[in-house]
Amino acid sequence: MDETTDTETRASKRPPMAFYFVQFLTGLASAASLFLVASGLSIIFGVTRIVNFAHGAFYMLGAYVAFTLTERFSGALGFWGGIVVAALVVAVVGVIVEMVLLRRIYHAPELFQLLATFGLTLMVEDLVVLIWGPDDLLGRRAPGFKGAVDFFGQNIPTYDLFLIAISPIVLGGLWLLFQRTRWGVLVRAATQDRDMVAALGVNQKWLFTSVFALGVFLAALGGALQIPRDAVHHALDLRIIVDVFVVVVIGGLGSIIGAFVAAVLVSELNAFGILIFPKISIILVFLVMAVVLIVRPWGLFGKPEAAARRTPGLTVNPWRPLTTNERWLAMAGLAVAAMLPLFAGNYALTVGSEIAIFVIFAASLHFLMSVGGLASFGHAAYFGLGAYGVAFLAKMAGLPMIVSLLVGPLLGLVGAAIFGFFAVQLSGVYFAMLTLAFAQIVWSIAFQWVTVTGGDNGILGVWPEKWAAGPASFYWLSLGVAAIAVAILRVIVFSPFGFALRATRDSLLRSEAIGIDGKRVQWTAFVIAGTVAGFAGSLFAYLKGSVFPDSLGISLSVDALVMVLLGGVETVSGAVVGAIVFKALNIWLVSQTDLSKLVLGGFVVLIVVAFPKGIVGVLETIRNRRKSSSSESSSKSSLATSRIETAE
């Protein structure tokens, strides 16, 4: 993809056999840290079903605390003691987080815990800079493991040998813990069937807390053990979290041995892959995950998930279309928004346009996630494809703006059609991770294919034509498209297709038994969502005047997830409110403070605790409560509800 042809081939001087062996050992050492962190994540997910986004933050905290302790207490005891104590300290932090925050939201809709842990991660990233300062910190080398041993002329760092030894030890320890202790038996039972353990009268609260503590301990230990080879800095969490998720999924959720094998597989493929393709690292884990998930939908050592039980707390108030009055209110709201250019300045209008674009984007993900029950972790792929589509058409083909805007999103459609086909074969977290893998593959293509996409320097000069160039015109354009997109998605929700989609989400068993081809329905929904996201992306390209690989990136995908969850995943249009609140707050905070992540993270955590069903979800609950207290509610309904939870 760029000019590297003048590199003399390595084949001319073949390295000795010893090299391959040492490269293999090096891969094993790399696998060790991945495995420690991944095993913790896998254990937590297996038992609590929490997608712990903060796992990387705990890893980073482990490194920071270990840095402080090992700097203060020298000597072998100071170092090794510091490592272990750091992991314990962070585990205690984990326990506090679990008891204060997560316990409140175990019964919230699926993935809501993701939102909470995402908020925590944001906070931690800023907090570590406040506490430890902005500079990269260089920790001590491990006493007794500073040098290297010679192996037929190749040097193997002794610390690598230590790391290679530690993962089987941890693996063995965990195996003993799970096989030989009562606690371990309970954890395994809970991994297989949470409800059964609850039925056995086990104190689930403490089981969850202790599991969370163990998982966090392993993450922090993984982080602490990195200080002799890495620099400690505030971006450590993001560097590892995605890779760790990938490892857990490749191995099979909840499988410790799977995590081990996957960590080794990924690390070795990387170690040897770079000998042939030096640029492979950037995408390798995602390629491996995509291939594994397509071939083995539950990971290498995972088992098919038992038919998903309905999440307790799932709304039992069926969705309904807007009444005439509500429709008028919506129109009135739209009219008010359309009047913004009368009294707001250019900046406010540009921000308004951006918010409107994110309303489209969030609504498209909401359609897939809430209506289709398919939580995509890689929805930005289709947003970004739409943006690149527009950039190609406008810059390279020189098409007029209106044509580019209409045709550009088709790239999102095509991407969604291809990737969606494979993704909908899976469900739950596996679906989420496959979408993430696809998004990362698209991202890395945009990032690497410099001649076409400009690489990370992007495509510049995608500015709107005169008719839409003014902030007011562009605002009206964005608002108009947003209104149309939201309206169309609403119509689809209440169309026969929308019901088929919800049927597939509610009960695969029943929908199949009434002739619904769930995969085809979900695939169609995926394509619809991808296309709408593409429209958002194409507007975004014109708003910003440029397109960068960022617009396909993980953080944008996560932002969209947060918007949907914030608004309320169980509502018809919560994403609209979620997008407005999140985006407006985000833009405002970034503009006002360098600590925007701390404040935004704190806000997200607060929302999670105060509005466990999302903003709109809670508003709706309040309204329904009022309604049902006025009308007579049947006494048997609560009993019925509790049955339904286990009725699938």
Partner 1 sequence: MSMVPTLLSVENLSKSYGGVHAVRSVSFALRAGEILALIGPNGAGKSTCFDMLNGQNTPDSGRINLLGEDTVGKKPRQVWRLGVGRTFQITATFPTMTVRENVQVALVSYGRQLFNLWGSTASYAREEAGRLLDLVGMGAYAGRPCGELAYGDLKRLELAIALANQPKLLLMDEPTAGMAPRERIELMRLTAQIAREKSIGVLFTEHDMDVVFEHADRILVLNRGSLIAEGTPEQVRGNPQVRAIYLGEGLVYDSRHREGAGA
Partner 2 sequence: MRRSYLLGAGLAIAVTGMANAAMAQSGEIKIGEINSYSLLPAFTEPYRKGWQLAVEEVNAAGGINGKKLVVVSKDDGGKPADATTAANELVSSENVAMLTGTFLSNIGLAVSDFANQKKVFFLAAEPLTDAITWSKGNRYTFRLRPSNYMQAAMLVEEAAKLPAKRWATIAPNYEYGQSAVAVFKKLMSEKRPDIVWVDEQWPPQGKIDAGPVVQAVAAANPEAILNVTFGADLVKLVREGNTRGLFKNRSVVSFLTGEPEYLDPLKDETPEGWIVTGYPWYDIKTPDHDKFLKAYQAKFNDYPRLGSIVGYQTIKAAAAILAKANSTDPEKLIAATEGLSMPSPFGEITFRKIDHQSTLGAYVGKTALKDGKGVMVNSVYRKGTDYLPSDAEVEKLRPKD
- Binding interface with partner 1 (CB under 8 A): 310, 314-319, 321, 491-492, 494-500, 502-503, 506-507, 509-517, 521, 524, 528, 634, 636-637, 639-641, 643-644, 647-648
The residue (of 193 and 456) whose beta carbon lies closer to partner 2 is 456
The residue (of 346 and 646) whose beta carbon lies closer to partner 1 is 646
φ and ψ at residue 62, rounded to 5 degrees: -55, -45
Residue 310 CB-density burial (10 A; 0-12 exposed, 13-18 middle, 19+ buried): middle
Which token pair is 622? 């309040």
Q: Which does 497 bind (CB under 5 to 8 A by kind): partner 1, partner 2, none?
A: partner 1
The residue (of 327 and 510) whose beta carbon lies closer to partner 2 is 327
φ and ψ at residue 280, rounded to 5 degrees: -70, -30
Part in contact with partner 2 (CB under 8 A); list of ranges 375-383, 407-415, 422-430, 589-597 = 589-597
Residue 6 CB-density burial (10 A; 0-12 exposed, 13-18 middle, 19+ buried): exposed
- Across the strands, what pairs with 151? 154
How far is it, in rounded angstroms, from Cα 501 to Cα 503? Answer: 5
Q: Which does 136 bind (CB under 5 to 8 A by kind): partner 1, partner 2, none?
A: partner 2
> What's the one-letter identity of residue 26?
T
- CA 378-120-621 angle, to 5 degrees, is 80
Q: Which of 173, 278, 400, 480 is close enough to bind partner 2 by CB under 8 A?
A: 278
Q: Which does 113 bind (CB under 5 to 8 A by kind): partner 1, partner 2, none?
A: none
Contact between 452 and partner 2 per CB under 8 A: no
With a CB cutoff of 8 Å and minimum separation 6, the contacts of 635 are none
Matching residue, tokens 């009268």: 201
The residue (of 199 and 450) whose beta carbon lies closer to partner 2 is 450
Beta strands in 489-637 (DSSP E): 546-547
Interface pattern 11-50 for partner 2 (x via CB under 8 A) = --x-x---x--xx--xx-xx--------------------
DSSP characters over 482-523: HHHHHHHHHHHHTSHHHHHHHHHHH-HHHHHHTT--HHHHHH
How far is it, in rounded angstroms, from Cα 192 to Cα 105? Answer: 21
How far is it, in rounded angstroms, from Cα 165 to Cα 163? Answer: 5
Compute the least distance from the CB of residue 503 to partner 1, in Å. Answer: 5
Buried b (16+ CB within 10 A) or exposed e, 290-299: bebbeeebbb
φ and ψ at residue 633, rounded to 5 degrees: -110, 140
How far is it, in rounded angstroms, from Cα 334 to Cα 339? Answer: 9
Q: Which does 350 bind (CB under 5 to 8 A by kind): partner 1, partner 2, none?
A: partner 2
Interface pattern 334-353 for partner 2 (x via CB under 8 A) = xxxxxxx--xxxxxxxxxx-
Interface pattern 146-165 for partner 2 (x via CB under 8 A) = xxx-----xxxx-xx-----
Compute the least distance from the CB of residue 121 to partner 2, in Å. Answer: 14
The residue (of 210 and 448) whose beta carbon lies closer to partner 2 is 448
Q: Which does 509 bind (CB under 5 to 8 A by kind): partner 1, partner 2, none?
A: partner 1
Compute the least distance from the CB of residue 431 to partner 2, in Å. Answer: 25
Which residues ranging from 218 to 247 are in contact with partner 2 (CB under 8 A)? 228-231, 233-235, 239, 243
Report helix, strand or coil for 155.
strand
How far is it, in rounded angstroms, from Cα 45 to Cα 105? Answer: 15
Compute the least distance from the CB of residue 517 to partner 1, in Å. Answer: 6
* 573 and 486 Cβ atoms separated by less than 8 Å: yes
Q: Which does 33 bind (CB under 5 to 8 A by kind): partner 1, partner 2, none?
A: none
The residue (of 21 and 497) whose beta carbon lies closer to partner 1 is 497
Q: Which does 138 bind (CB under 5 to 8 A by kind): partner 2, partner 1, none?
A: partner 2
Q: Which does 165 bind (CB under 5 to 8 A by kind): partner 2, partner 1, none?
A: none
Q: Which does 183 bind (CB under 5 to 8 A by kind): partner 2, partner 1, none?
A: none
Compute the least distance from the CB of residue 588 to partner 2, in Å. Answer: 6
Contact between 409 and partner 2 per CB under 8 A: no
Q: Which does 591 bind (CB under 5 to 8 A by kind): partner 2, partner 1, none?
A: partner 2
Look at residues 503, 505, 385, 374 and name the one whose alpha carbon lies nearest to residue 446: 385
* 209 and 109 Cβ atoms separated by less than 8 Å: no
Part in contact with partner 2 (CB under 8 A); list of ranges 249-257, 295-303, 328-336, 509-517 = 328-336
* 55 and 241 Cβ atoms separated by less than 8 Å: yes
Compute the least distance from the CB of residue 362 to partner 1, in Å. Answer: 20
* 220 and 124 Cβ atoms separated by less than 8 Å: no
Interface pattern 523-562 for partner 2 (x via CB under 8 A) = -----------------x---xxx-x-xx---x-------
- CA 282-285-290 angle, to 5 degrees, is 120
Up-side HSE of residue 566: CA atoms within 13 Å toward CB? 27
Q: Which does 396 bind (CB under 5 to 8 A by kind): partner 2, partner 1, none?
A: none
* 230 and 34 Cβ atoms separated by less than 8 Å: no
* 232 and 136 Cβ atoms separated by less than 8 Å: yes
Matching residue, tokens 């496959």: 434
How far is it, in rounded angstroms, from Cα 55 to Cα 38? Answer: 9
The residue (of 130 and 491) whose beta carbon lies closer to partner 1 is 491
Q: Which does 511 bind (CB under 5 to 8 A by kind): partner 1, partner 2, none?
A: partner 1
Q: Which of 134, 304, 398, 515 is close enough to bind partner 2 by CB under 8 A?
A: 134
φ and ψ at residue 315, rounded to 5 degrees: -60, 140
Which residues ranging from 257 to 276 are in contact with partner 2 (CB under 8 A)? 267, 270-271, 274-275
The residue (of 214 and 600) whose beta carbon lies closer to partner 2 is 600
Q: Which of 331, 396, 397, 610 is close enough to bind partner 2 by CB under 8 A?
A: 331
Contact between 590 and partner 2 per CB under 8 A: yes
